Structure 1
Amino acid sequence: MKLFDKMFNPRDVRRKLGLNQQEFWTKIGVTQSGGSRYESGRNMPKPVKELLRLVHVEQVDLTRVRREDFEIIEYLKENHPDLYKSLQKAVKARPEGELEGQ
């Protein structure tokens, strides 16, 4: 079970990661005071929830993501589904941290 599946309160996710509010919310472009309001129960917009999931649960480094990456993914899915599935399996099977630093 993934971290986000069992924790619906962003405060719980932040605490699980051992981050303070400034560190946690700044990574997704939310001010500390805005994040504090979400942690206190204010309704969080869907885009903020998605950013929270991508950055803090899926561990996606947004500074490394480019539009072209998504275009390549879509191209592979549509035109070479077998290759896409094969690459997907290879990525899941690689040792932890193999792509770090690239």
Structure 2
Amino acid sequence: MTSVKTIEKIDAREIRRKLGLNQQQFWSALGVTQSGGSRYESGRNMPKPVRELLRLVHVEQVDIKSIKRDDWEVVEYLKAQEPELFKSLKKSARNHAKKAA
């Protein structure tokens, strides 16, 4: 079982403050306006795509500018058509990252 953090339990304001970012800096990395981000921080329901972007960018530290559409298509293909190969590659990548750290 993986230990992926569920973003519903994570406070966006708390993450932003821990990162030392103002609302403009924090939310613009997700393509969200400062006023929209402020509403989410004040309790407005955050749509799932925004929650996922928040998780990827500010929790997992993924540079979404580096993700290319064709890269994503390969990942989706492997997950759907070659799940065992996908799992093996994912495990190898994690082991490589641990050794590099």
Contact 1:55/1:62 (<8 A) preserved = yes
Counterpart residue number, 2:28 = 26
How big is the shift at 1:4? 5.5
- Runs of 5+ consecutive residues of structure 2 not aligned to the other structure: none
2:51 corresponds, among 35, 49, 52, to 49
How big is the shift at 1:3? 6.1
- Which structure 2 residues correspond to residues 86-101 of structure 1 after superposition, within 5 A? 86-95=88-97
Q: Distance in 2 between matches of 1:80 and 1:9?
A: 36
- 1:74/1:63 CA distance change after superposition, 3 Å: same
Deviations 1:27-80 (A, max 9, x none): 001111221111111222222112111111121211111221122113323444
Structure with the largest fraction of helix = 2
Q: How does the TM-score come out when normalised to structure 2?
A: 0.76
RMSD: 2.5
1:76 corresponds, among 66, 75, 78, to 78
- Runs of 5+ consecutive residues of structure 1 not aligned to the other structure: none
How big is the shift at 1:89? 1.0
How many residue pairs get matched?
Answer: 98
Contact 1:4/1:13 (<8 A) preserved = no
Contact 1:76/1:83 (<8 A) preserved = yes
Q: Distance in 2 between matches of 1:51 and 1:30?
A: 10
How big is the shift at 1:81? 3.4
